[in-house]
């Protein structure tokens, strides 16, 4: 961390010149490669498929149709322009009342109606990015610590720390228990921090998890709430993926737990929720972030800070109308769940066919893929990066290596599946399957003739043999001098999770 | 252990100041021509509501922009997913061109040097985060926009040191005042990172002069780490384009483009005042320093402009015929409206600072003060808010060093409402005058009474005659 000093002084601030925004990391190489050679079904069928972008593109048609059928929700149409002046003028940081009500209503519906939210506690922000930064500014001073379970969303390093000066200490989760977060692990991390004389202000987590796609069980969430209450520290839950839960499963929001617990077990002044429409509705461009707190002072402070990232009044109006349309919302949530579930199923099934498993998950726009068996060295992150470069440059899929999420075990990759159409997903699967098969065939002398059977056969011995030969084939790739292109200067697109 | 951060518990957000309290009173009892004709008229809000008809008619003629369509094709999906912090290039190009036009095309702007932010509020804060560390200071000429206390200081930890300007020279920045501010900062052990001006000025409504620019550029040239930030949010509200000199124009005229000073001058812009669209949250930073652009672009993640809004405005501003006509009409209407306020005030013996821009006048009510104090100013302000029922902004909320000045907005209401506001104020002033005349004749009648009474009366008379003297000096 160095400031740009010339002649003993500094022209720019420390913040402007340090690396804490995290955008100089090598993970942007994948993005750069994609930008140079982006896949297109007809125009560039051999290009790189973007699977590093956690976007939800599956239900935009439903939203588009609604907009077409509801011209009054726009201030630009003949039906809606009478509202133009009032809306264009409206910059009250409380936000349009109808907007807050609609958001509170939508949040309740996205949690199956099991909880209700108070519109007076809804505070706007510049996306969840703005919301997470704002909540840090409200709760912590420079040098204070927040605990974050890892693996975690890479941009937390920027959003929680960069301008706030807050420190993040990860609570490492491992595959030994399917990356489940336990209160014991949080307790341990908390104690360790205290021993190093650090001031822990709270715990922040994403639920459903990015990058895991898993959800906390109700009991775990209850125990976490009890824990923070005992220690008098804050709990911030980023529920940005709340409605990306696949059909047939229930998401337990921290709001539900707050309702369920007795008042002596939970100090509600410590509980805060971050939300956004970027994932559930697939509208990241509209910059709708929400801070929801049970603490009046935090609501008040966050609201004043929202001046730095209010939602465009044009957008507020449109969403106020859309999200109060119960028929639309109910249908949307149901369809979205269904389509995500199907997409997830198709993808994971296709991966299973070539012996690739993913962490079992019920939500999210991605899978947490287990490629440890393909690593040259299971204990080395260098191996992970080598494998990653092969996937980007040879298999031509931009995926995100686990190390970019601070995962402590090499070999895991986050692979997004909801930011493309069915055909593209099919191509991606095909490429993975072809690649795995091709490398099986390379050692065909010892292979049985029936490749399909081998792939489908879960015999541990054959599995092991196959895996060790796959590793051999990768080693050959490494040895063939298939070194990755040198680390390119960062392109620095927006870190879109 | 403290439950919250220091930022959450301090009041650097400045929202306990009278500037915001007046707002709160208005909210409780807002004027409406039909529903609440005796309510408080809002004259504390620098909004531009004079040209919505032009925007609305453009919308009627351009349905594609309204419906997420480009050349008849739907681009909804593209916009819904667009969150690139580089911004929509069509919008940035249109914005850069619009900024040039605003300056009579005497300077041109490169869209690669533009960073989009959520309003000027965010632009100003972001620039502070980029240019200064906590504990550094920026010098600001007084009086200044009350929101700066929050925008520049609150979360950044930057300090503001005022450059005191006074009515003796029309509130112009002087070299002496600038030096004094710098010395003051040094005394407080603060590292000065530069000067921030608003040009045209809020609350004065005046454009920065060439002399002032020379003083400022000289100052930041002395020290290689100092910046000049020019918040040009009111650039389109100048009544006559030729009278507005942007800081970029000065740099060009002085041929400073290849010097390092060029990289230390930054502009803040927004569409909230010129186009009257504060709800859309469109702000921008313009800088010739690549590092500033790079850092600010990353920071803009915390407050990007909605893609829906970017698209609408890129269509609007790319329509050159529209933007030319809009700028011209806007200036004309603002000028007329300002004239009405100024002449209305003059008719009741109230002067305003001669201004050539803005959505407000800087009004001299010193002669209406009971005493030359800020307590008297507050007292007068309360009378105007609660009794006259006009929310105007007292000069102290803008950090003015002289009591008795008020910022009065004129562009956020209809002409009829302005007339009503003037009528109410005139009644207040006339009543005040007749009270004084009554008390003067009373004091003459009581001349022969007890010493005690005489003392009381003569104190009263003294205060009144002080007022009368000032009235004559007008």
CATH label of the domain that carries residue A24: 3.90.1150.10
pLDDT per residue over B17-68, tens digit each?
Answer: 666 778 888 989 999 999 999 999 999 999 999 999 999 999 989 988 767 8
Residues of chain B with CATH 3.90.1150.10: 6-52+324-430
- The C-alpha torsion from B343 through B345 and B346 to B349, rounded to 10°, is 170
pLDDT per residue over B188-219, tens digit each?
Answer: 999 999 999 999 999 999 999 999 999 999 99
Percent of chain A at pLDDT exceeding 70? 87
Give the integer Cα–Cα distance in Å for A245 and A252.
Answer: 10
Using pLDDT thresholds of 50, 70 and 90, give the confidence band for residue B468. Answer: very low
Note the pLDDT of residue B401: 96
Nearest residue to B161 via CA among B175, B180, B134, B133: B180
Residue A483 to chain B, least CA–CA distance (Å) = 31
Task: Sort out which chain A residues have CB atoms less than 8 A from B63's CB and list them.
Answer: 76-78
DSSP state of A43: T
Residues A212 and A273 occupy one common structural domain: yes
Say if residues A240 and A209 touch (Cβ distance below 8 Å): no
Give the integer Cα–Cα distance in Å for B403 and B253.
Answer: 38
The CATH number covering residue A238 comes to 3.40.640.10
Token pair 């005497």: residue: B106
Asked, for residue A1, whether it belongs to a domain, the answer is no
Residues sharing a CB contact under 8 Å with residue A217, sequence separation 6 or more, in sequence order: A252
State how far the alpha carbon of A424 is from the alpha carbons of A49, A51, A334, B74, B296, in Å. 8, 10, 24, 21, 35
Asked, for residue A386, whether it belongs to a domain, the answer is yes
DSSP string, A196-247: TT--EEEEEEESS-TTT-----HHHHHHHHHHHHHHT-EEEEE-TTGGGPPT
Catalytic residue among A48, A204, A240, A273: A240
Residues of chain B with CATH 3.40.640.10: 62-319
Q: Is the pLDDT of residue A202 over 80?
A: yes
Q: Is the pLDDT of residue B90 over 70?
A: yes
Q: How many Cα atoms within 13 Å fall on the side-chain side of residue A170? A: 15
Catalytic residue among B19, B145, B234, B286: B145
Say if residues B160 and B140 touch (Cβ distance below 8 Å): yes
Interface of A with B in 143-202 (CB under 8 A): 144, 158-159, 163, 199
Q: Is the pLDDT of residue B445 over 60?
A: yes
Note the pLDDT of residue B408: 98
pLDDT per residue over B369-403, tens digit each?
Answer: 999 999 999 999 999 999 999 999 999 999 999 99
State mean pLDDT over B275-292.
96
Residues A185 and A78 occupy one common structural domain: yes
Cis peptide before A28 (omega within 30 of 0): no
Residues A351 and A226 occupy one common structural domain: no
Asked, for residue A133, whether it belongs to a domain, the answer is yes
The domain of A369 spans 18-60+331-436
By mean pLDDT, which of A24-33, A112-121, B240-249 is the weakest?
A24-33
Note the pLDDT of residue B455: 39
User: If one looks up domain B62-319 in CATH, what number appears?
Assistant: 3.40.640.10
User: If one looks up domain B6-52+324-430 in CATH, what number appears?
Assistant: 3.90.1150.10
Give the integer Cα–Cα distance in Å for B71 and A400.
Answer: 37
ipTM (interface pTM): 0.87
Asked if A67 lies within 8 A of B306 by C-beta distance, the reply is no
Token pair 């302000």: residue: B381
Q: Is the pLDDT of residue B462 over 90?
A: no
State mean pLDDT over B280-296.
97
Q: What share of chain B is helix, strand, coil (3-state, %, to 5)?
A: 55, 15, 35
Using pLDDT thresholds of 50, 70 and 90, give the confidence band for residue B432. Answer: confident
Using pLDDT thresholds of 50, 70 and 90, give the confidence band for residue A106. Answer: very high
Strand-pair category, A397-398 with A49-50? parallel
Note the pLDDT of residue A4: 40
Q: Is the pLDDT of residue A47 over 80?
A: yes
pLDDT per residue over A134-187, tens digit each?
Answer: 999 999 999 999 999 999 999 999 999 999 999 999 999 999 999 999 999 999
Number of domains chain A is built from: 2
Say if residues B145 and A30 touch (Cβ distance below 8 Å): no
pLDDT per residue over A359-411, tens digit each?
Answer: 999 999 999 999 999 999 999 999 999 999 999 999 999 999 999 999 999 99
Residues A345 and A294 occupy one common structural domain: no
Beta strands in A318-458, from DSSP E residues, in sequence order = 357-358, 366-370, 397-398, 400-401, 412-416
Bridge partners, A271 (sequence order) = A235
Residues sharing a CB contact under 8 Å with residue A124, sequence separation 6 or more, in sequence order: A93, A95, A288, A289, A290, A291, A306, A309, A310, A311
Bridge partners, A273 (sequence order) = A237, A292
Q: Is the pLDDT of residue B308 over 90?
A: yes
Asked, for residue A398, whether it belongs to a domain, the answer is yes
Asked, for residue A444, whether it belongs to a domain, the answer is no
Using pLDDT thresholds of 50, 70 and 90, give the confidence band for residue A469. Answer: very low
Structure tokens at A373: 């068996």
Per the prediction, chain B carries an average pLDDT of 90
Q: Is the pLDDT of residue A442 over 50?
A: yes
Domain end: A328, A345, A365, which one? A328
Task: Sort out which chain A residues have CB atoms less than 8 A from B136's CB and list them.
Answer: 13
Residues A41 and A166 occupy one common structural domain: no
Interface of A with B in 209-248 (CB under 8 A): 232
Residues sharing a CB contact under 8 Å with residue B362, sequence separation 6 or more, in sequence order: B143, B171, B203, B204, B205, B352, B353, B355, B405, B406, B407
Using pLDDT thresholds of 50, 70 and 90, give the confidence band for residue B452. Answer: very low
């Amino acid at each position: 961390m160095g400031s740009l000093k010339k002649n003993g002084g500094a022209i720019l601030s420390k913040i402007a010149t340090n690396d804490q925004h995290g955008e100089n990391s090598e993970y942007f190489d994948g993005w750069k490669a994609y930008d140079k050679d982006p896949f297109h079904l007809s125009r560039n069928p051999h290009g790189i498929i973007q699977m590093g972008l956690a976007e939800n593109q599956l239900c935009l048609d439903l939203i588009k149709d609604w907009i077409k059928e509801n011209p009054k929700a726009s201030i630009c149409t003949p039906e809606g322009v009478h509202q133009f002046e009032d809306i264009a003028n409206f910059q009250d940081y409380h936000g349009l009342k109808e907007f807050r009500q609609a958001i509170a209503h939508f949040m309740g519906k996205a949690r199956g109606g099991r909880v209700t939210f108070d519109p007076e506690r809804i505070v706007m922000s510049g996306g969840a990015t703005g919301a997470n930064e704002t909540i840090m500014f409200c709760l912590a001073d420079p040098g204070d610590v927040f605990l974050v379970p890892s693996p975690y969303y890479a941009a937390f390093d920027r959003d929680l720390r960069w301008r706030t000066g807050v420190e993040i200490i990860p609570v490492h989760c491992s595959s030994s228990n399917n990356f489940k977060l336990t209160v014991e692990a949080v307790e341990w991390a908390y104690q360790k921090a205290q021993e190093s004389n650090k001031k822990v202000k709270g715990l922040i987590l994403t639920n459903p998890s990015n990058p895991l796609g898993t959800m906390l069980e109700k009991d775990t969430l209850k125990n976490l709430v009890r824990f923070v209450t005992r220690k008098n520290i804050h709990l911030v839950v980023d529920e940005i993926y709340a409605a990306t839960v696949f059909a047939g499963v229930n998401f337990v929001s921290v709001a539900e737990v707050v309702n369920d617990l007795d008042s002596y077990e939970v100090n509600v002044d410590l509980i805060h929720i971050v939300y956004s429409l970027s994932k559930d509705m697939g509208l990241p461009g509209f910059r709708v972030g929400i801070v929801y707190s049970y603490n009046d002072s935090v609501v008040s402070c966050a609201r004043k800070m929202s001046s730095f990232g209010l939602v465009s009044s044009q957008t507020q109006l449109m969403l106020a109308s859309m999200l109060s349309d119960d028929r639309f919302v109910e249908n949307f949530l149901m369809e979205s769940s269904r389509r995500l579930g199907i997409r997830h199923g198709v993808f994971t099934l296709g991966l299973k066919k070539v012996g690739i498993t993913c962490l079992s998950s019920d939500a999210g726009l991605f899978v947490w893929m287990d490629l440890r068996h393909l690593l040259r060295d299971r204990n080395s992150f260098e191996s992970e990066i080598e494998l990653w470069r092969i996937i980007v440059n040879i298999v031509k899929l931009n995926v995100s290596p686990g190390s970019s999420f601070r995962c402590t075990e090499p070999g895991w990759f986050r692979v997004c599946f909801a930011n493309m159409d069915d055909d593209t997903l099919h191509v991606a699967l095909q490429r993975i399957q072809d690649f795995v098969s091709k490398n099986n065939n390379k050692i065909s002398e010892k292979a049985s003739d029936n490749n399909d059977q081998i792939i489908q056969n879960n015999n541990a011995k054959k599995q092991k043999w196959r895996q060790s030969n796959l590793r051999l084939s990768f080693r050959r790739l490494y040895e063939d001098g298939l070194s990755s292109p040198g680390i390119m200067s960062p392109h620095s697109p927006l870190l879109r999770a | 252990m403290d439950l919250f951060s220091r930022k959450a518990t301090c009041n650097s957000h400045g929202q306990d100041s009278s500037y915001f309290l007046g707002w709160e009173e208005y909210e409780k009892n807002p004027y409406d021509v039909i529903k609440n004709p005796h309510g408080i008229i809002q004259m504390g809000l620098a909004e531009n509501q004079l040209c919505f008809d032009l925007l609305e008619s453009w919308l009627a003629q351009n349905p594609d922009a309204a419906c997420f369509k480009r050349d008849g094709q739907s681009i909804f999906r593209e916009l819904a997913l667009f969150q690139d912090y580089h911004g929509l290039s069509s919008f940035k190009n249109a914005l850069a061109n619009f900024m040039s036009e605003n300056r009579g095309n005497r300077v041109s702007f490169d869209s690669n040097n533009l960073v989009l932010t959520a309003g000027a509020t965010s632009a100003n804060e972001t620039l502070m985060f980029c240019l200064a560390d906590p504990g550094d200071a920026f010098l600001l000429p007084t009086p200044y926009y009350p929101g700066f206390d929050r925008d520049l200081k609150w979360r950044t930890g930057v300090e503001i040191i005022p450059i005191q300007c006074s009515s003796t020279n029309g509130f112009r920045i002087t070299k002496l005042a600038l030096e004094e501010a710098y010395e003051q900062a040094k005394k407080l052990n603060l590292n000065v990172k530069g000067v921030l001006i608003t040009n045209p000025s809020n609350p004065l409504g005046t454009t920065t002069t060439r002399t002032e620019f020379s003083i400022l550029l000289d100052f930041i040239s002395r020290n290689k780490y100092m910046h000049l930030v020019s918040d040009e949010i009111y650039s389109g509200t100048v009544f006559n384009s030729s009278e507005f000199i942007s800081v970029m124009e000065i740099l060009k005229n002085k041929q400073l483009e290849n010097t390092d000073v060029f990289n230390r001058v930054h502009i803040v812009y927004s569409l909230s005042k010129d186009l009257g669209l504060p709800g859309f949250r469109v702000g921008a930073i313009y800088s010739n320093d690549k590092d500033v652009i790079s850092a600010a672009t990353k920071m803009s993640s915390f407050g990007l402009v909605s893609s829906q809004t970017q698209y609408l405005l890129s269509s609007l501003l790319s329509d050159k015929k529209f933007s030319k006509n809009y700028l011209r009409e806007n200036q004309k209407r603002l000028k007329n409206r300002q004239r009405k306020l100024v002449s209305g005030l003059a008719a009741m013996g109230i002067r305003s600072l001669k201004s050539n821009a803005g959505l407000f006048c800087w009004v001299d009510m010193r002669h209406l003060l009971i005493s030359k104090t800020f307590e008297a100013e507050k007292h007068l302000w309360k009378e105007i808010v609660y009794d006259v029922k006009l929310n105007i902004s007292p000069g102290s909320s803008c950090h003015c060093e002289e009591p008795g000045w008020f910022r009065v907005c004129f562009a956020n209401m209809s002409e009829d409402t302005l007339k009503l506001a003037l009528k109410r104020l005139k009644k207040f002033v006339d009543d005040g005058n007749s009270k004084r005349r009554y008390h003067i004749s009373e004091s003459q009648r009581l001349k022969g009474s007890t010493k005690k009474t005489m003392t009381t009366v003569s104190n009263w008379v003294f205060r009144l005659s002080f007022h009368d003297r000032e009235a004559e000096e007008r």
